Amino acid sequence: MSDTPTNIRAHQGEQTLELIWDSGVVSRLPYRYLRAECPCASCRNEWTGERILDP
């Protein structure tokens, strides 16, 4: 069984996304990290995987 977020909150001042998991663990991920890890074709070259956008 995978852990599922029970609550997701954006903290604009801290530029983080907070995820509260059903296990009770709280994760805070910086927006910059999320942008850097984005696998979509708008953020990465579809063929090489090279990052297109500089977060």
Class of domain 1-55: alpha beta
- Contact between 52 and 44 under an 8 Å Cβ cutoff? The reply is yes
Instruction: Please state, in angstroms and rounded to a whole number, the distance separating the CA atoms of residues 5 and 12.
Output: 19
Instruction: Please state, in angstroms and rounded to a whole number, the distance separating the CA atoms of residues 51 and 23.
Output: 33
Per-residue pLDDT at 1: 46
* Amino acid, res. 21: W
Measured in whole angstroms, the distance separating CA 16 from the mean position of its chain's CA atoms is 9
* Amino acid, res. 8: I
Per-residue pLDDT at 42: 86
pLDDT < 70 positions in the chain: 1-2, 54-55
- Contact between 8 and 16 under an 8 Å Cβ cutoff? The reply is no
Per-residue pLDDT at 55: 56
Which sequence spans correspond to the domains of the chain?
1-55
